[in-house]
Structure 1
Amino acid sequence: MSVAGGRPDAVTDTNDLAGLQRRLADFAVARDWGRFHTPKNLATALGVETAELAEIFQWLTPEESARVMDDEATAFRVRDEVADVLAYLLQFCAALGVDPLDALSDKIDRNEKRFPVT
């Protein structure tokens, strides 16, 4: 069994989208959080986490925002908030039976038709 990220509890096949969704579901089940993970609550939590990500950039100039990953502490905050946003989005999709990759692919298809290259 190969190990990912140096963590003995994380095998490489759990770092794909479905594997991460399983880990999130298992984490919530083990803590009896399922009753809180309704679509409404997950959508609200997703909005809160997105706002926390936006807060990092709130008063930065465009140039400063482009260099945000140069500062180790700020880069950690960005990665942490990205993880929170993605976790809640994946849990939201699981709660409603939405395949996020299919949804994105369908949206790109629609946008390619809506915004053709000129």
Structure 2
Amino acid sequence: MTIDDLLKQLLAFRDARDWRQFHTLRNLIVSASIEAGELLETVQWKTEDEIDALAADPAQRKHLEHECADVLMYLMLIAEKAGFDLVEAAADKLKLNETRYPVEKAKGTSTKYSAL
């Protein structure tokens, strides 16, 4: 399945339920943030070892998959509502990050680009 196929299915799901009326840009952005918070909950209060083990446990992995999917779907709805291609936006941002974080300055460090 491509991301375009997924978007078509997502929009059909939304439209079949008459939810477009609730999908203002503000509401979608708020919802994406809430879902990102739920993703954060999957690691809250866990050690690094416990977090690394999430993927090995089928139930925890499925929960992680669902939370990631919720974030992705809201991002897709935001992009659709705002009229931009999310994949193109991500590709453009990656190009920008390549200039902000040149390998010779950024390799092996977590320093923000403005301090490199």
TM-score in same-fold range (> 0.5):
yes
Structure 2 counterparts to residues 1-118 of structure 1, below 5 A: 15-118=1-104
Extract unaligned runs of 5+ from structure 2.
Answer: 105-116
Inter-partner Cα distance in structure 1 for 2:40 and 2:91: 25
The CA deviation at 1:92 is 0.8
The CA deviation at 1:100 is 0.9
Question: 1:10 corresponds to which residue?
Answer: none
Q: Which moved more, 1:86-95 or 1:58-67?
A: 58-67
> With structure 2 as the length reference, what TM-score do the two structures score?
0.85
The CA deviation at 1:66 is 1.4
Extract unaligned runs of 5+ from structure 1.
Answer: 1-14
Inter-partner Cα distance in structure 2 for 1:101 and 1:30: 25
Q: Which runs of 4+ in 1 moved over 3 A?
A: none
> With structure 1 as the length reference, what TM-score do the two structures score?
0.84
Q: Secondary structure at the match of 2:45?
A: coil
Q: Which moved more, 1:19-28 or 1:63-72?
A: 63-72
Inter-partner Cα distance in structure 2 for 1:16 and 1:55: 29
